[in-house]
Structure 1
Amino acid sequence: MLHDVKITVLKRLFHEDLVKNYTDNPNSWTPCQLFKEGQTFTIPAQAPWNKPEDFCGWAWADMQKMIWGMSRGGPKQFVTCCTDGYRPVVFLLERLDPES
């Protein structure tokens, strides 16, 4: 059975101490501007490899294998984040069960 997968943005973090200590121009860094808390995306079961429009390519690369697995019956929920150590975004992935 195939499942759509819903992505919800849970948190946008910003590690100011890491930016200050480990970047060349710390004043130019801000929290991720591509996402907002509560924002959602639905990945159709028939196309689990297709990145949603306006979705960060790096974040998509970090989660697309889990989304594919969930669309094929994997875990019901999973929390993941992108690999940006300075300003990671935390996502909730939810497998959506087809309507009966």
Structure 2
Amino acid sequence: MKHRVKVTVLDTLLYEDLQREYCQNPCSGKCPVYNKGDVFVFYREDGKDSFWQCGLNTLVSTNGNPAEVAGGSAKPFCSEAWDAISRYIYTGLQGGSIMKGWMKEENTMIACCSDGTRPVIFKIERIDVSE
């Protein structure tokens, strides 16, 4: 059995009060490289492994400009996001349980990047594919 991992951006949040108080640019706004609804698919097939390219070319759907979305053809995943979700992607690609005992389904995890003023919330799902 092959395994793919689908990553969906559930939300992009903004804490304006924290940006005003702590950021050099107090009006930085929401994350500029992800949009609510962005969908990415990771796979290890046909001699390709999208994990080891940090998500480059994994974008399959966006409401934004594909050239500006991290994970599109122009740039890999943001390092803060990648640090937060890559372990779940890797586990899913291996066919492992992403978060058994915590989430309702062991093939799913909800995680977010570590940007404290504009976090992005991701849903990571292992997809089992019959060969």
- After TM superposition, the score normalised by the length of structure 2 is 0.68
Is 2:93 the counterpart of 1:94? no
CA deviation vs aligned residue, 1:64-84 (integer Å, no higher than 9, x gap): 112111222223000001000
Of all paired residues, the percent bearing the same amino acid is 35
Which position in structure 1 is the counterpart of 2:97? 74
What is residue 29 of structure 2 aligned with on the other side? 30
* Unpaired runs of at least 5, structure 1: none
Please identify which structure carries the higher helix content. Answer: 1
4+ runs of 1 displaced by more than 2 Å? 45-50
State the number of aligned residues.
99
> 1 CA distance for matches of 2:123 and 2:35?
13
CA deviation profile, 1:28-80 (whole Å, cap 9, x unmatched): x1101101111111111353333122322221122111211122222300000
Distance across 2 between alignment mates of 1:49 and 1:61: 13
Q: Which residue of 2 aligns with 1:61?
A: 83
Structure 2: give runs of 5+ residues left out of the alignment: 57-74, 99-106
CA contact (8 A) 1:8 1:93 kept: yes
- CA–CA distance in structure 2, aligned partners of residues 66 and 93 of structure 1: 7
Residue 2 of structure 1: CA displacement?
4.3
Which structure's relative contact order is higher, taking Cα pairs within 8 Å and 6+ residues apart? 1
